[in-house]
Amino acid sequence: MVSHRMRVLRRVILGRRAVVSVIIALVSTVTVGYADSLLGVDVGIVPASVADWALRVVAVLAALQLATATTLLAARDIRRAFRARGPGAREVIRVRDQASMIRALRSASYIRLRRSPDTVRYVRNVWGYAGPCTLHLGMLVVMCGVLVASLTQSSGTFVAYEGESIPAGTVPASTERGPLASPPALTRPIMLDHLDVTYWPDGAPRRIAALVTLETADGGRELEVGVNDPGGVSGFRIFQHSTFGYAFGITVTRGGVGERYRFEIPVPAERDAASYLDTTLDSGDMLRAKLVHDPSTPTGAPLLTLRLVRGGVTLGEAEYAATSSAVLGDTEVSVDVVKRWAVFSLQRTRGMGLVFTGFFLIFAGAVLTYAFTPREVTISRSSAGGVVAEWHAVRFPLMYGSEVAALRRAAEADGDDDD
């Protein structure tokens, strides 16, 4: 009864139609999710949360199938490895010289696994039996890792300015989190000490790294993070983005009244390019800013140009290589502070360990499946009294024609020389 139920369960979960249906469902949800991300959430085919949940549900179904398949494959592979004889073959090799045949088997790396009075079983690449099972186990582990990460991941981005501390408890802007995750709040104060950017000769950034200080009860702990080189702190990981720039503290004085502004301008992508920022002042004038790299410095120091425009007429324009002041028409515009800023992500993710492990399992499974196909030879006495060998390849038997031919030649060799 139990066996019957298991068979039914297996048929439902691992039936041919069930397997293909789940794969097609995965393709469909991925395609819908893609279309949704292309069109945008607001006018999407389905809301993003629905697409996320649909993918999770299908992933659970796929994981269930993979778990069942892996268990069944493991049982099958163990049975195959230790069975008394192979499943037979269409072509049976008649063995005239058993000693020559065994020598050929040994030289081809076949090892003897089972022996009884009537049969001897040799196997080449016995570890290859575990290939499909390991491959499916790897996919299962990855699927579990993806599910755990999708449910528990929380992340958000924040902008840090050189020398300014961000207090503990700050929740980064534009946060994303899974249904089981808590908001990614900073667990301790953090400060950007220094941003280190090096450039290629053509002016494109080569390396972007930051030194940040995590303030603790006993002082501070310095941590270096960079693009593609995240750092870890209190269960979170900090990622450095490629976006960075300068924050200019600007005072605009007109008629003895000063107004303070902070211009945050990203560094242009290339050295001979420029970034622009137009800001309407409280007075109604427009202050147009242009930022380029100073080509005379190897690290690309900022060169800011400010132009004051009133009613479409330019009143004045000045360049600021550092903190300085200039009069633009009837207005004094001074750059008081120049700081660098950089964008970081704060993220807590569980499940990436499973993804890593799954990667190695898939790799191992693939190698075992494709490079170590097991081949079996069962030598036994035929009913007619002679000795026969049955060769069997677990996968791709047509690929081993030359090996079978060599064994056949050895088996059918004239044994007189050995006598």
Interface residue with other proteins, options 73, 247, 342, 362 (CB under 8 A): 362
Q: How far is CA 31 from CA 24, 36, 54, 78, in A?
A: 10, 8, 12, 38
Alpha-carbon span 54 to 373, nearest angstrom = 38
Q: Are 306 and 317 in contact (CB under 8 A)?
A: yes
Our finding on whether 359 is near other proteins (CB under 8 A) is: yes
SS3 of 213, please? strand
Q: What is the smallest separation between the CB atom of 251 and other proteins, expressed in angstroms? A: 34
Our finding on whether 233 is near other proteins (CB under 8 A) is: no
Count of residues of this chain found to bind other proteins when the rule CB under 8 A is applied: 53
Helix 131-152 to helix 48-82 angle (10° resolution) is 160
Our finding on whether 356 is near other proteins (CB under 8 A) is: yes
SS3 of 271, please? coil
**Residues within window 367-406 making contact with other proteins, judged by CB under 8 A:** 369-370, 396, 398-399, 401
Beta strands, E only, 116-235: 119-124, 154-161, 165-166, 173-177, 190-199, 205-216, 219-226, 231-233
**Identity of residue 75:** A
Place of tokens 């799954």: 358
- Closer by beta carbon to other proteins, 261 or else 372: 372
Q: What is the smallest separation between the CB atom of 173 and other proteins, expressed in angstroms? A: 14
Our finding on whether 208 is near other proteins (CB under 8 A) is: yes
Q: Are 189 and 214 in contact (CB under 8 A)?
A: yes
Q: How far is CA 237 from CA 187, 196, 223, 233, 284, in A?
A: 12, 19, 11, 6, 44
Interface residue with other proteins, options 13, 74, 81, 227 (CB under 8 A): 227
Interface residue with other proteins, options 73, 105, 147, 149 (CB under 8 A): 149
Our finding on whether 142 is near other proteins (CB under 8 A) is: yes
Binding string, 26-45, against other proteins, x = CB under 8 A? xx--xx-xx--xx-------
Q: What is the smallest separation between the CB atom of 134 and other proteins, expressed in angstroms? A: 11
Interface residue with other proteins, options 222, 229, 319, 330 (CB under 8 A): 229
The phi, psi pair for 188, rounded to 5°, reads: -155, 155
- Give me the residues that bind other proteins (CB under 8 A), please: 16, 19-20, 23-24, 26-27, 30-31, 33-34, 37-38, 135, 139, 142, 146, 149, 155, 200, 202, 204-208, 226-230, 237, 239, 241-242, 345, 347, 349, 352, 355-356, 358-359, 362-363, 365-366, 369-370, 396, 398-399, 401
